[in-house]
């Protein structure tokens, strides 16, 4: 058999410190005809042990899901859960009725509604809609958590026009009955709500973000029936506060807050310093994200600490910041995609079950109508950063058998992801030779 090849010899002084290298991202399209996706969520909806994708589609006024059919790249089949869910803004999944499968929650901005859909099984899945609240003016976000720890999932909402952070206690029954309680009133332009035990007292507190009030706030759970709430401000000058996540960023065993400011174009985190009330220290992760929408923390480079991914609607980017450690933490920004039009919703998870964190995002209203995911290929060699400073090479650049490295004690062979490989065990692909700590050239194995 004959082979034809085009190749480039890369001569470099780059040190291959792969553990802190740029992560390589491989883009895949989930759907390219979904108009104005405002929210995405990932879970195993059909109990087949792989992850499916849910979407709240603003312009189409639909709640949808894409079934993961497997394969490489993954094949997706779209299903509609609900039509005429006006200005679908938010989607979340949880087992609301305790029957062992994932149900779906949604918030409708123009429909002023919080609802859930019971997963009735079947192929395709059949859904029964249940309304939790109507008249919830400009419902912007829905979320689920067992706040009162009674074994069932409660529901939370943020109403932008009512300036409310609310929760609905799950009272059980068939259909499920709900009792509404206001957590935060006069929360100007409420956009986001999350639940976590911030003060480490054994019960769940609530965190919120409001766009017009420029606030990140938390409400301490003081117990009682109904629960009594004490309000504490975290930041009153986070202009256009849009989304919060509760997570231990610095891994000091307490819950910190990750947040984005749509008008400040900023991603920041607030270190939980303990105390009563809790003291918070703001640390900026990144600025210049014009129209910053959502941020999520996860270990993207597999080095054991939490990095941060974020979307920006106006600067059309999906980016991530590598956690380089230190006190305060040093952050290094990288693009996942710097030309993803109207990027808004974001979700980070191991979508392809290969033990690293992938990134999903979607183009929002007036965008390119695409839902996309970027496969995490691990830290690797970024050829754009290789400086071509030498003119000679030391090994054949096209090989068909095992790679024969001279001075084995001084030489290493890396694959494209930055992993050291044995020269006699390589398969067809691209490899890099290192001699005395310097990457000297690229080698292509052809068979």
Instruction: Supply the pLDDT for residue 22.
Output: 79
Nearest-angstrom CA–CA distance, 118 and 96: 8
**Which one is predicted more confidently, 13 or 84?**
84
First to last CA, the chain: 10
Contact partners, residue 253, CB within 8 Å, separation at least 6: none
**Which one is predicted more confidently, 366 or 99?**
99
Nearest-angstrom CA–CA distance, 433 and 201: 54
Q: DSSP 3-state assignment of 385? A: helix
Nearest-angstrom CA–CA distance, 399 and 387: 24
* pLDDT one-digit tens code per residue, 210-224: 999 999 999 999 999
* pLDDT one-digit tens code per residue, 287-318: 999 999 999 999 999 999 999 999 999 999 99
* pLDDT one-digit tens code per residue, 391-423: 344 445 455 555 555 444 556 766 665 667 777
Mean pLDDT of the chain: 89
pLDDT over 60 (residue 444) = no
Question: What number is the average pLDDT over the span 134-157?
Answer: 99
Look at residues 7, 8, 9 and name the one whose alpha carbon lies nearest to residue 393. Answer: 9
* pLDDT one-digit tens code per residue, 61-115: 999 999 999 999 999 999 999 999 999 999 999 999 999 999 999 999 999 999 9
Q: Which domains occur in the chain, in start order?
A: 24-376 (2.130.10.10), 381-446 (no CATH)
Nearest-angstrom CA–CA distance, 266 and 57: 25
Q: What is the dihedral of CA 341, 344, 348, 349, to 10 degrees?
A: -80
* pLDDT one-digit tens code per residue, 279-290: 999 999 999 999
* pLDDT one-digit tens code per residue, 17-43: 444 567 999 999 999 999 999 999 999
> What confidence tier does 265 reach under pLDDT thresholds 50, 70, 90?
very high
């Amino acid at each position: 058999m004959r082979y034809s090849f085009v190749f480039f010899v890369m001569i470099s002084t780059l040190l291959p410190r792969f553990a802190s290298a740029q992560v390589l991202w491989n883009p895949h399209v989930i759907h390219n005809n979904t108009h104005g996706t405002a929210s995405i969520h990932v879970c195993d909806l059909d109990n087949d042990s792989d992850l499916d994708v849910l979407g709240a589609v603003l312009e189409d006024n639909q709640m949808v899901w894409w079934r993961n059919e497997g394969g490489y790249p993954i094949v997706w089949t779209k299903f509609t859960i609900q039509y005429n869910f006006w200005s679908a803004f938010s989607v979340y999944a949880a087992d609301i009725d305790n029957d062992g499968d994932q149900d779906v929650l949604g918030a409708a901005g123009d429909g002023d509604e919080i609802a859930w859909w019971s997963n009735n099984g079947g192929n395709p899945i059949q859904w029964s809609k249940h309304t939790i609240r109507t008249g919830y003016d400009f419902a912007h976000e829905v979320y689920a958590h067992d706040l009162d720890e009674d074994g069932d999932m409660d529901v939370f909402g943020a109403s932008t026009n009512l300036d409310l952070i609310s929760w609905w206690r799950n009272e059980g029954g068939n259909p499920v009955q709900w009792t509404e309680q206001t957590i935060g009133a006069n929360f100007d332009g409420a956009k986001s709500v999350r639940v976590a035990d911030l003060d480490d007292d054994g019960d769940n507190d609530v965190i919120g973000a409001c766009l017009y009030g420029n606030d990140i706030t938390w409400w301490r759970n003081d117990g009682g029936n109904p629960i009594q709430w004490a309000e504490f401000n975290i930041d009153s000058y986070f202009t256009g506060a849009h989304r919060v996540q509760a997570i231990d960023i610095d891994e000091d065993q307490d819950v910190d807050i990750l947040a984005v400011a749509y008008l400040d174009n900023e991603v920041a985190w607030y270190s939980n310093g303990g105390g009563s009330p809790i003291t918070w220290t703001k640390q900026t992760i990144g600025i210049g994200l014009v129209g910053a929408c959502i941020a999520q923390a996860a270990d993207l480079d597999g080095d054991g600490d939490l990095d941060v991914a974020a979307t920006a609607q106006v600067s059309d980017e999906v980016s991530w910041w590598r956690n380089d450690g230190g006190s305060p933490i040093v952050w290094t920004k990288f693009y996942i995609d710097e030309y993803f039009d109207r990027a808004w919703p974001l979700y980070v998870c191991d979508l392809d079950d290969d033990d690293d964190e992938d990134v999903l995002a979607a183009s929002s209203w007036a965008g390119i109508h695409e839902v996309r995911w970027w496969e995490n290929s691990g830290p690797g060699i970024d050829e754009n950063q290789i400086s071509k400073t030498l003119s000679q090479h030391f090994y054949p650049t096209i090989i068909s058998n095992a790679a024969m490295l001279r001075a084995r004690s001084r030489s290493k062979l890396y694959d494209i992801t930055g992993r050291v490989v044995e020269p006699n065990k390589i398969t067809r692909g691209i490899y890099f030779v290192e001699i005395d700590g310097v990457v000297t050239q690229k080698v292509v194995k052809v068979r």
